[in-house]
Amino acid sequence: MLMKYRRGVYVGKFQPFHKGHLKCIQYALSKVDELIILVGSAQLSHTFNNPFTAGERIEMIRRALKDENIKSDRYLIIPVEDTFGVHSIWVSKVTSILPKFEVVFTNEPLTRRLFLEAGFKVESIPLYRRKLYSATEVRRRIIEGEDWASLVPSAVHSYIISIGGDERLRDLLRSDKEN
């Protein structure tokens, strides 16, 4: 296959990292020499929608990619904090914190629009059972006590269990309901 780009960015929040994310990374890696995996909303954790710290999310991604034998010189993981709802400056923050890149892989309409308005090349990613492989669905299943192990790489499953992530999620849900 012909390498089209030297460096691309794949943007996600990874709350938590699931098999859909893995598919996207594999697709993006087929298009670039090197992929920057941007861990968005890096400052958030301990809310029901954003339960894991950036550090925990980086750990998940590294373990999952290692199990897939993706070589560490093919990707960089970079956490980026939000601009607190000020979308107009987000792209220039990203370009300041990340090494130079040529293409952005995303299906998210706002992310796509912001990069396009700033003059970047944006490519979409083939969808892969999107309803099933979604962080919202993983969190819902953890809360409901349904099977979620099948939605995430096994390294991510055992990591979340090891840090008590399922119990944390239940606490956060109770906290949201009370407030």
| Residues in contact with a second copy by the rule CB under 8 A | 42-47, 53-56, 58-59, 62, 71-73, 76-79, 81, 83-89, 91-93, 95-100, 108-114, 118, 168, 171-172, 174-175, 178-179
Distance CA 171, CA 87 (A): 31
Nearer to a second copy, 37 or 152 (CB): 37
| Residue pair 169/143 in contact by the 8 Å Cβ criterion | yes
Query: Which residue, 2 or 126, is less far from a second copy as judged by CB?
Result: 126
Which residue, among 47, 48, 38, has the nearest Cα to 111 in the 3D structure?
38
Nearest CA to 138 among 154, 121, 150?
A: 150
Tell me the backbone φ, ψ of residue 20, rounded to 5 degrees.
-65, -45
Minimum distance, C-beta of residue 149 to a second copy, in the bound complex (Å): 22
Least distance to a second copy from the beta carbon of 46, Å? Answer: 4
CB closer to a second copy out of 12 and 22: 12
Compute the least distance from the CB of residue 22 to a second copy, in Å.
18
Write the single-letter amino acid at 141.
R
CA gap 90, 94 in Å, rounded: 6
The least distance separating a second copy from the CB of residue 100, rounded to whole angstroms, comes to 7
B/e letters for 26-35, b = 16+ CB within 10 Å, e = fewer, are eebbebbeeb
Q: Which is nearer to a second copy, 32 or 58 (by Cβ)?
A: 58
Kindly state the smallest distance separating residue 92's Cβ from a second copy, in Å.
4
**Cβ-based nearer residue to a second copy, 112 or 147:** 112
